[in-house]
Structure 1
Protein backbone atom coordinates (compact mmCIF):
# COMPACT_ATOMS: atom_id res chain seq x y z
CA UNK A 1 0.00 0.00 0.00
CA UNK A 2 1.47 3.20 -1.12
CA UNK A 3 1.32 6.20 1.18
CA UNK A 4 0.27 9.50 -0.33
CA UNK A 5 2.59 12.45 0.16
CA UNK A 6 1.27 15.19 2.37
CA UNK A 7 0.17 18.23 0.41
CA UNK A 8 2.64 21.09 0.41
CA UNK A 9 1.28 24.31 1.92
CA UNK A 10 0.66 26.92 -0.74
CA UNK A 11 3.08 29.33 0.86
CA UNK A 12 5.91 26.85 0.59
CA UNK A 13 4.93 25.64 -2.85
CA UNK A 14 5.60 29.05 -4.43
CA UNK A 15 8.88 29.30 -6.27
CA UNK A 16 11.91 30.61 -4.37
CA UNK A 17 12.34 33.40 -6.91
CA UNK A 18 9.02 34.86 -5.82
CA UNK A 19 10.43 35.63 -2.37
CA UNK A 20 13.67 36.97 -3.79
CA UNK A 21 11.98 39.30 -6.25
CA UNK A 22 9.38 40.50 -3.81
CA UNK A 23 9.98 44.21 -3.13
CA UNK A 24 11.12 45.00 0.36
CA UNK A 25 9.01 47.59 2.10
CA UNK A 26 11.18 50.68 2.87
CA UNK A 27 10.27 53.15 5.58
CA UNK A 28 8.76 56.32 4.20
CA UNK A 29 11.37 58.89 3.28
CA UNK A 30 11.45 61.86 5.60
CA UNK A 31 12.17 64.99 3.66
CA UNK A 32 14.03 67.73 5.49
CA UNK A 33 11.89 70.68 6.32
CA UNK A 34 12.54 73.96 4.68
CA UNK A 35 15.23 75.89 6.55
CA UNK A 36 13.06 78.95 6.58
CA UNK A 37 10.26 77.05 8.36
CA UNK A 38 12.49 75.42 10.95
CA UNK A 39 12.32 77.05 14.39
CA UNK A 40 15.46 78.97 15.17
CA UNK A 41 16.93 78.21 18.57
CA UNK A 42 18.44 81.32 20.05
CA UNK A 43 21.73 80.70 21.85
CA UNK A 44 21.89 81.71 25.48
CA UNK A 45 23.13 85.26 25.86
CA UNK A 46 26.50 85.24 27.58
CA UNK A 47 25.57 88.50 29.33
CA UNK A 48 22.49 87.03 31.01
CA UNK A 49 23.86 88.01 34.43
CA UNK A 50 23.02 91.64 33.59
CA UNK A 51 19.37 90.98 32.71
CA UNK A 52 17.73 92.09 35.96
CA UNK A 53 20.54 94.29 37.25
CA UNK A 54 20.03 97.99 37.85
CA UNK A 55 23.17 98.82 39.83
CA UNK A 56 26.75 97.53 39.81
CA UNK A 57 29.57 97.98 42.32
CA UNK A 58 33.12 97.79 40.97
CA UNK A 59 36.21 97.24 43.10
CA UNK A 60 39.63 97.78 41.55
CA UNK A 61 42.77 96.07 42.79
CA UNK A 62 46.25 96.78 41.52
CA UNK A 63 48.35 93.62 41.24
CA UNK A 64 51.24 94.75 43.41
CA UNK A 65 53.35 91.63 42.78
CA UNK A 66 53.35 92.29 39.04
CA UNK A 67 54.62 95.81 39.65
CA UNK A 68 57.34 94.77 42.09
CA UNK A 69 58.63 91.94 39.91
CA UNK A 70 58.56 94.10 36.74
CA UNK A 71 55.82 92.08 35.10
CA UNK A 72 53.83 95.15 34.19
CA UNK A 73 51.20 97.33 35.78
CA UNK A 74 47.91 95.47 35.65
CA UNK A 75 44.57 96.00 37.34
CA UNK A 76 41.95 93.51 38.41
CA UNK A 77 38.29 94.44 38.81
CA UNK A 78 35.54 92.69 40.76
CA UNK A 79 32.00 93.49 39.61
CA UNK A 80 29.19 92.84 42.09
CA UNK A 81 25.48 93.47 42.18
CA UNK A 82 23.75 95.62 44.76
CA UNK A 83 23.18 92.43 46.77
CA UNK A 84 26.98 91.90 46.84
CA UNK A 85 26.86 88.93 44.46
CA UNK A 86 30.01 88.60 42.38
CA UNK A 87 29.09 88.30 38.68
CA UNK A 88 32.26 89.31 36.80
CA UNK A 89 36.00 89.27 37.29
CA UNK A 90 37.96 91.52 34.93
CA UNK A 91 41.66 91.03 34.25
CA UNK A 92 43.88 93.54 32.46
CA UNK A 93 46.38 92.39 29.85
CA UNK A 94 49.09 94.61 28.38
CA UNK A 95 52.75 94.69 27.46
CA UNK A 96 54.96 94.63 30.54
CA UNK A 97 56.49 98.09 29.94
CA UNK A 98 53.47 100.25 29.01
CA UNK A 99 52.18 100.60 32.57
CA UNK A 100 55.45 102.14 33.74
CA UNK A 101 55.57 104.77 30.98
CA UNK A 102 51.99 105.34 29.77
CA UNK A 103 50.19 105.16 33.12
CA UNK A 104 46.42 105.63 32.68
CA UNK A 105 46.73 106.12 28.91
CA UNK A 106 48.27 102.70 28.32
CA UNK A 107 46.91 100.40 25.59
CA UNK A 108 45.38 97.24 26.98
CA UNK A 109 42.84 94.47 26.77
CA UNK A 110 40.31 93.69 29.47
CA UNK A 111 39.06 90.11 29.76
CA UNK A 112 35.68 89.85 31.48
CA UNK A 113 34.83 86.43 32.95
CA UNK A 114 31.71 85.23 34.69
CA UNK A 115 31.42 83.06 37.78
CA UNK A 116 32.22 79.88 35.81
CA UNK A 117 35.45 81.34 34.41
CA UNK A 118 34.10 81.68 30.87
CA UNK A 119 35.08 84.85 29.04
CA UNK A 120 31.89 86.75 28.23
CA UNK A 121 33.30 90.08 27.08
CA UNK A 122 36.55 91.60 25.86
CA UNK A 123 37.48 95.28 25.70
CA UNK A 124 40.20 96.66 23.42
CA UNK A 125 41.81 100.01 24.11
CA UNK A 126 44.53 101.37 21.81
CA UNK A 127 47.01 104.02 22.87
CA UNK A 128 45.72 107.59 22.54
CA UNK A 129 47.61 110.61 23.87
CA UNK A 130 44.68 112.68 25.06
CA UNK A 131 44.80 116.15 26.57
CA UNK A 132 41.80 118.29 27.44
CA UNK A 133 43.12 121.55 26.08
CA UNK A 134 45.32 120.33 23.22
CA UNK A 135 43.95 116.92 22.21
CA UNK A 136 46.33 114.80 20.17
CA UNK A 137 44.13 111.71 19.90
CA UNK A 138 40.68 111.04 21.31
CA UNK A 139 39.93 107.93 23.31
CA UNK A 140 38.08 105.09 21.60
CA UNK A 141 37.54 101.59 22.93
CA UNK A 142 35.75 98.65 21.33
CA UNK A 143 33.67 96.07 23.15
CA UNK A 144 33.10 92.47 22.02
CA UNK A 145 30.66 89.99 23.54
CA UNK A 146 31.31 87.16 23.22
CA UNK A 147 34.93 87.76 22.14
CA UNK A 148 34.87 88.12 18.38
CA UNK A 149 31.38 89.66 18.17
CA UNK A 150 31.42 93.45 18.33
CA UNK A 151 28.56 95.01 20.30
CA UNK A 152 29.68 98.65 20.32
CA UNK A 153 32.29 101.24 21.19
CA UNK A 154 32.92 104.26 23.40
CA UNK A 155 34.22 107.44 21.75
CA UNK A 156 35.48 110.58 23.42
CA UNK A 157 34.24 113.97 22.28
CA UNK A 158 36.69 116.82 22.57
CA UNK A 159 35.54 119.48 25.05
CA UNK A 160 37.84 121.94 26.84
CA UNK A 161 35.91 121.97 30.14
CA UNK A 162 33.52 119.09 30.83
CA UNK A 163 34.41 115.60 29.52
CA UNK A 164 31.90 113.98 27.19
CA UNK A 165 31.72 110.53 25.63
CA UNK A 166 29.52 108.86 23.04
CA UNK A 167 28.24 105.30 23.51
CA UNK A 168 27.55 103.59 20.17
CA UNK A 169 26.10 100.19 19.30
CA UNK A 170 27.44 97.60 16.88
CA UNK A 171 26.09 99.54 13.90
CA UNK A 172 27.86 102.75 14.91
CA UNK A 173 24.62 104.40 16.02
CA UNK A 174 24.79 106.55 19.12
CA UNK A 175 22.60 105.24 21.94
CA UNK A 176 23.90 107.24 24.94
CA UNK A 177 26.19 110.09 25.79
CA UNK A 178 28.05 110.61 29.05
CA UNK A 179 28.81 113.99 30.55
CA UNK A 180 31.23 114.52 33.42
CA UNK A 181 31.80 117.37 35.90
CA UNK A 182 34.16 120.29 35.40
CA UNK A 183 36.40 119.00 38.19
CA UNK A 184 37.06 115.26 38.02
CA UNK A 185 39.26 115.11 41.12
CA UNK A 186 37.62 113.08 43.87
CA UNK A 187 38.26 115.14 47.00
CA UNK A 188 35.85 114.84 49.96
CA UNK A 189 32.99 113.85 47.66
CA UNK A 190 31.86 111.34 45.07
CA UNK A 191 32.36 112.25 41.43
CA UNK A 192 29.47 111.50 39.08
CA UNK A 193 29.37 111.17 35.31
CA UNK A 194 25.76 111.39 34.11
CA UNK A 195 24.40 109.16 31.35
CA UNK A 196 21.76 110.41 28.90
CA UNK A 197 19.90 109.12 25.90
CA UNK A 198 20.33 110.90 22.60
CA UNK A 199 17.13 112.89 23.27
CA UNK A 200 18.53 114.18 26.57
CA UNK A 201 16.58 111.99 29.00
CA UNK A 202 18.58 110.69 31.94
CA UNK A 203 19.37 106.96 32.02
CA UNK A 204 21.70 106.70 35.01
CA UNK A 205 25.14 107.69 36.25
CA UNK A 206 28.54 106.30 37.05
CA UNK A 207 30.30 107.33 40.23
CA UNK A 208 33.82 107.44 41.65
CA UNK A 209 33.53 106.74 45.37
CA UNK A 210 35.20 108.89 48.02
CA UNK A 211 36.57 106.54 50.71
CA UNK A 212 38.16 108.97 53.13
CA UNK A 213 41.31 111.00 53.46
CA UNK A 214 43.48 108.08 54.62
CA UNK A 215 42.49 106.01 51.62
CA UNK A 216 43.17 108.93 49.29
CA UNK A 217 46.64 109.48 50.77
CA UNK A 218 47.88 105.89 51.01
CA UNK A 219 45.64 103.33 49.32
CA UNK A 220 44.13 105.03 46.27
CA UNK A 221 46.86 103.79 43.87
CA UNK A 222 46.26 100.20 45.03
CA UNK A 223 42.48 99.97 45.41
CA UNK A 224 39.46 101.99 44.43
CA UNK A 225 35.68 101.69 44.18
CA UNK A 226 33.18 102.74 41.56
CA UNK A 227 29.45 102.44 41.11
CA UNK A 228 27.15 102.55 38.13
CA UNK A 229 23.36 102.76 38.08
CA UNK A 230 21.07 102.49 35.05
CA UNK A 231 17.53 101.60 34.09
CA UNK A 232 16.72 97.93 34.56
CA UNK A 233 14.93 97.62 31.22
CA UNK A 234 18.05 98.37 29.18
CA UNK A 235 19.33 95.52 27.05
CA UNK A 236 22.24 93.49 28.38
CA UNK A 237 24.42 94.81 25.54
CA UNK A 238 23.67 98.41 26.54
CA UNK A 239 24.48 97.64 30.18
CA UNK A 240 27.74 96.01 29.10
CA UNK A 241 28.67 99.14 27.11
CA UNK A 242 28.05 101.35 30.15
CA UNK A 243 30.19 99.04 32.27
CA UNK A 244 33.00 99.37 29.73
CA UNK A 245 32.58 103.16 29.75
CA UNK A 246 33.01 103.18 33.54
CA UNK A 247 36.28 101.27 33.22
CA UNK A 248 37.52 103.74 30.60
CA UNK A 249 36.76 106.68 32.89
CA UNK A 250 38.74 105.03 35.67
CA UNK A 251 41.81 104.64 33.49
CA UNK A 252 41.58 108.19 32.17
CA UNK A 253 41.08 110.10 35.40
CA UNK A 254 41.92 107.89 38.40
CA UNK A 255 44.60 105.40 37.38
CA UNK A 256 48.06 106.63 38.42
Structure 2
Protein backbone atom coordinates (compact mmCIF):
# COMPACT_ATOMS: atom_id res chain seq x y z
CA UNK A 1 0.00 0.00 0.00
CA UNK A 2 1.14 3.57 -0.70
CA UNK A 3 0.90 4.41 3.00
CA UNK A 4 3.86 2.12 3.63
CA UNK A 5 6.16 4.20 1.44
CA UNK A 6 8.25 6.28 3.79
CA UNK A 7 8.22 9.31 1.46
CA UNK A 8 4.53 9.94 2.08
CA UNK A 9 4.17 12.68 4.67
CA UNK A 10 0.80 14.12 3.68
CA UNK A 11 -2.65 12.81 2.78
CA UNK A 12 -5.84 14.56 1.68
CA UNK A 13 -9.26 13.26 2.71
CA UNK A 14 -12.33 14.35 0.75
CA UNK A 15 -15.79 13.43 1.97
CA UNK A 16 -18.21 12.75 -0.86
CA UNK A 17 -21.36 14.87 -1.03
CA UNK A 18 -24.52 12.77 -0.80
CA UNK A 19 -27.38 14.25 -2.84
CA UNK A 20 -30.03 12.36 -0.83
CA UNK A 21 -28.67 13.84 2.39
CA UNK A 22 -28.80 17.38 1.01
CA UNK A 23 -32.38 17.01 -0.24
CA UNK A 24 -33.92 15.14 2.68
CA UNK A 25 -31.60 16.04 5.57
CA UNK A 26 -31.45 12.32 6.40
CA UNK A 27 -27.96 11.23 7.45
CA UNK A 28 -26.41 8.59 5.18
CA UNK A 29 -23.28 6.49 5.57
CA UNK A 30 -20.24 8.66 4.97
CA UNK A 31 -17.87 7.94 2.09
CA UNK A 32 -14.42 9.42 1.58
CA UNK A 33 -11.59 9.48 -0.93
CA UNK A 34 -8.06 9.50 0.48
CA UNK A 35 -5.55 11.05 -1.93
CA UNK A 36 -1.85 11.81 -2.08
CA UNK A 37 -0.47 15.29 -2.72
CA UNK A 38 -0.73 14.72 -6.49
CA UNK A 39 -4.48 14.25 -6.17
CA UNK A 40 -4.28 10.52 -6.91
CA UNK A 41 -6.67 8.33 -4.95
CA UNK A 42 -4.82 5.81 -2.80
CA UNK A 43 -7.73 4.67 -0.64
CA UNK A 44 -11.50 4.73 -0.47
CA UNK A 45 -13.19 4.81 2.94
CA UNK A 46 -16.79 3.87 3.70
CA UNK A 47 -18.74 4.04 6.94
CA UNK A 48 -20.78 0.99 7.92
CA UNK A 49 -23.61 1.80 10.33
CA UNK A 50 -27.34 1.09 10.16
CA UNK A 51 -29.91 3.83 9.62
CA UNK A 52 -31.37 3.45 13.13
CA UNK A 53 -27.97 4.10 14.73
CA UNK A 54 -27.35 7.12 12.51
CA UNK A 55 -30.78 8.55 13.32
CA UNK A 56 -30.70 7.91 17.08
CA UNK A 57 -27.07 8.72 17.86
CA UNK A 58 -26.23 11.32 15.22
CA UNK A 59 -22.56 12.34 15.12
CA UNK A 60 -21.95 10.56 18.45
CA UNK A 61 -22.80 7.22 16.85
CA UNK A 62 -20.55 4.17 17.05
CA UNK A 63 -19.21 3.19 13.65
CA UNK A 64 -16.98 0.97 11.60
CA UNK A 65 -15.10 2.55 8.72
CA UNK A 66 -13.53 0.28 6.13
CA UNK A 67 -10.55 1.69 4.23
CA UNK A 68 -9.96 -0.04 0.91
CA UNK A 69 -7.04 0.26 -1.51
CA UNK A 70 -7.32 0.66 -5.28
CA UNK A 71 -7.25 -3.12 -5.73
CA UNK A 72 -10.35 -3.54 -3.57
CA UNK A 73 -8.51 -4.93 -0.55
CA UNK A 74 -9.49 -3.70 2.91
CA UNK A 75 -6.27 -2.50 4.50
CA UNK A 76 -7.48 -0.56 7.56
CA UNK A 77 -10.56 -0.84 9.76
CA UNK A 78 -11.61 1.85 12.22
CA UNK A 79 -13.87 0.93 15.15
CA UNK A 80 -15.53 3.55 17.32
CA UNK A 81 -17.62 2.32 20.28
CA UNK A 82 -20.53 4.26 21.69
CA UNK A 83 -19.26 6.70 24.29
CA UNK A 84 -20.51 9.81 26.06
CA UNK A 85 -20.30 12.92 23.88
CA UNK A 86 -19.83 15.44 26.68
CA UNK A 87 -16.56 16.60 28.20
CA UNK A 88 -18.36 16.75 31.56
CA UNK A 89 -17.88 13.00 31.91
CA UNK A 90 -14.09 12.38 31.90
CA UNK A 91 -14.59 8.71 32.75
CA UNK A 92 -16.32 8.02 29.43
CA UNK A 93 -14.49 9.90 26.68
CA UNK A 94 -14.20 9.12 23.00
CA UNK A 95 -11.95 6.35 21.71
CA UNK A 96 -11.19 4.76 18.35
CA UNK A 97 -9.41 1.50 17.57
CA UNK A 98 -7.36 1.18 14.39
CA UNK A 99 -6.83 -2.26 12.87
CA UNK A 100 -4.39 -3.04 10.05
CA UNK A 101 -4.93 -5.54 8.62
CA UNK A 102 -8.58 -5.81 9.73
CA UNK A 103 -8.81 -7.70 13.01
CA UNK A 104 -5.29 -6.76 14.15
CA UNK A 105 -5.18 -3.66 16.39
CA UNK A 106 -2.19 -1.40 15.63
CA UNK A 107 -3.15 1.62 17.70
CA UNK A 108 -5.75 3.76 19.39
CA UNK A 109 -6.96 7.35 19.43
CA UNK A 110 -8.04 8.29 22.95
CA UNK A 111 -9.68 11.56 23.91
CA UNK A 112 -7.90 13.28 26.81
CA UNK A 113 -10.04 15.25 29.21
CA UNK A 114 -9.45 19.00 29.19
CA UNK A 115 -11.67 21.84 30.36
CA UNK A 116 -11.50 23.85 27.13
CA UNK A 117 -9.24 22.22 24.53
CA UNK A 118 -10.00 19.19 22.35
CA UNK A 119 -7.09 16.84 23.10
CA UNK A 120 -6.30 13.31 22.00
CA UNK A 121 -3.53 10.79 22.61
CA UNK A 122 -2.19 8.58 19.83
CA UNK A 123 -1.30 5.15 21.25
CA UNK A 124 0.36 2.08 19.78
CA UNK A 125 -1.02 -1.46 19.95
CA UNK A 126 0.39 -1.85 23.49
CA UNK A 127 -1.42 1.29 24.66
CA UNK A 128 1.85 3.20 24.93
CA UNK A 129 1.43 6.94 24.36
CA UNK A 130 3.19 8.03 21.15
CA UNK A 131 1.83 11.46 20.13
CA UNK A 132 -0.64 14.12 21.21
CA UNK A 133 -3.24 15.90 19.07
CA UNK A 134 -4.40 19.30 20.32
CA UNK A 135 -7.11 21.42 18.73
CA UNK A 136 -8.13 25.06 19.16
CA UNK A 137 -10.23 26.27 22.07
CA UNK A 138 -13.08 27.25 19.74
CA UNK A 139 -13.66 24.70 16.97
CA UNK A 140 -15.43 26.77 14.35
CA UNK A 141 -14.51 27.89 10.86
CA UNK A 142 -15.13 31.17 9.10
CA UNK A 143 -13.20 31.46 5.85
CA UNK A 144 -10.19 29.65 7.27
CA UNK A 145 -8.82 26.20 8.03
CA UNK A 146 -9.07 24.68 11.50
CA UNK A 147 -5.83 23.11 12.66
CA UNK A 148 -5.32 20.31 15.16
CA UNK A 149 -1.62 20.23 15.98
CA UNK A 150 0.17 16.90 16.30
CA UNK A 151 2.77 17.16 19.03
CA UNK A 152 5.38 15.10 20.80
CA UNK A 153 4.22 13.29 23.88
CA UNK A 154 5.52 16.09 26.15
CA UNK A 155 3.73 18.65 23.93
CA UNK A 156 6.92 20.68 23.40
CA UNK A 157 7.39 19.98 19.68
CA UNK A 158 4.93 20.13 16.77
CA UNK A 159 5.51 17.24 14.37
CA UNK A 160 2.40 17.29 12.20
CA UNK A 161 -1.10 18.61 11.70
CA UNK A 162 -4.67 17.55 10.98
CA UNK A 163 -6.46 20.39 9.20
CA UNK A 164 -10.13 20.77 8.46
CA UNK A 165 -10.05 22.78 5.25
CA UNK A 166 -12.43 25.64 4.51
CA UNK A 167 -14.60 24.63 1.52
CA UNK A 168 -16.64 27.78 0.88
CA UNK A 169 -19.83 29.31 2.24
CA UNK A 170 -22.33 27.17 0.32
CA UNK A 171 -20.74 23.82 1.10
CA UNK A 172 -20.06 24.75 4.73
CA UNK A 173 -23.61 25.94 5.31
CA UNK A 174 -25.66 23.26 3.60
CA UNK A 175 -23.63 20.05 3.76
CA UNK A 176 -21.53 18.19 6.31
CA UNK A 177 -19.10 16.98 3.62
CA UNK A 178 -15.66 18.04 4.81
CA UNK A 179 -12.13 18.08 3.47
CA UNK A 180 -9.11 17.33 5.63
CA UNK A 181 -5.36 17.36 5.25
CA UNK A 182 -3.03 15.21 7.34
CA UNK A 183 0.68 15.96 7.72
CA UNK A 184 2.99 13.63 9.62
CA UNK A 185 6.75 13.00 9.80
CA UNK A 186 8.12 11.04 6.84
CA UNK A 187 9.81 8.57 9.18
CA UNK A 188 6.72 7.99 11.33
CA UNK A 189 5.97 4.29 11.73
CA UNK A 190 3.42 3.10 9.15
CA UNK A 191 1.16 1.85 11.94
CA UNK A 192 1.07 5.31 13.49
CA UNK A 193 0.27 6.82 10.08
CA UNK A 194 -2.78 4.57 10.02
CA UNK A 195 -3.73 5.74 13.52
CA UNK A 196 -3.36 9.35 12.38
CA UNK A 197 -5.92 8.66 9.67
CA UNK A 198 -8.18 7.27 12.37
CA UNK A 199 -7.70 10.43 14.44
CA UNK A 200 -8.81 12.51 11.46
CA UNK A 201 -12.05 10.56 11.11
CA UNK A 202 -12.79 10.75 14.83
CA UNK A 203 -12.23 14.52 14.78
CA UNK A 204 -14.55 14.83 11.78
CA UNK A 205 -17.39 13.00 13.54
CA UNK A 206 -16.91 14.80 16.85
CA UNK A 207 -16.69 18.36 15.58
CA UNK A 208 -17.86 18.65 11.96
CA UNK A 209 -20.46 15.96 11.29
CA UNK A 210 -23.51 18.02 12.21
CA UNK A 211 -25.91 18.24 9.30
CA UNK A 212 -25.73 21.38 7.24
CA UNK A 213 -28.67 23.52 8.23
CA UNK A 214 -27.41 27.03 7.59
CA UNK A 215 -25.92 27.30 11.07
CA UNK A 216 -22.26 27.08 12.02
CA UNK A 217 -21.39 23.53 13.03
CA UNK A 218 -19.62 23.11 16.31
CA UNK A 219 -18.12 20.27 18.30
CA UNK A 220 -19.11 18.40 21.43
CA UNK A 221 -17.78 21.06 23.74
Q: Which moved more, 1:112-121 or 1:198-207?
A: 198-207
Q: Which runs of 5+ in 1 are unaligned?
A: 1-45
Task: Give the alignment partner of residue 249 of structure 1, picking from 178, 184, 203.
Answer: 203
2:147 aligned with 1:192, yes or no?
A: yes
2:73 aligned with 1:118, yes or no?
A: yes
CA deviation profile, 1:40-76 (whole Å, cap 9, x unmatched): xxxxxx5655532111111012544489899962100
CA deviation profile, 1:61-97 (whole Å, cap 9, x unmatched): 2544489899962100100011111101001001221
1:183 partner SS: coil
**TM-score normalised by the chain length of structure 1:** 0.76
CA deviation profile, 1:91-111 (whole Å, cap 9, x unmatched): 100122111121111011000
Task: Give the alignment partner of residue 165 of structure 1, picking from 120, 125, 130.
Answer: 120
**Separation in 1 of the partners of 2:122 and 2:7?**
21
Which residue number corresponds to residue 186 of structure 2? 232
Whether the 8 Å CA contact 2:3–2:193 is kept in 1: the answer is no
2:147 aligned with 1:208, yes or no?
A: no
Paired residues, what number? 209
Which residue number corresponds to residue 10 of structure 2? 55
Higher relative contact order by CA 8 Å / sep ≥ 6: 1 or 2?
Answer: 2
- Root-mean-square deviation over aligned CA pairs: 2.2
Distance 1:194-1:100 versus aligned 2 partners, 3 A rule: same
**Separation in 1 of the partners of 2:97 and 2:126?**
12
2:28 aligned with 1:84, yes or no?
A: no
Post-superposition offset of 1:215? 2.1
Q: Which runs of 5+ in 2 are unaligned?
A: 211-221
Q: Which structure has the larger Rg over C-alpha atoms?
A: 1
Post-superposition offset of 1:133? 3.8
Whether the 8 Å CA contact 1:167–1:177 is kept in 2: the answer is yes
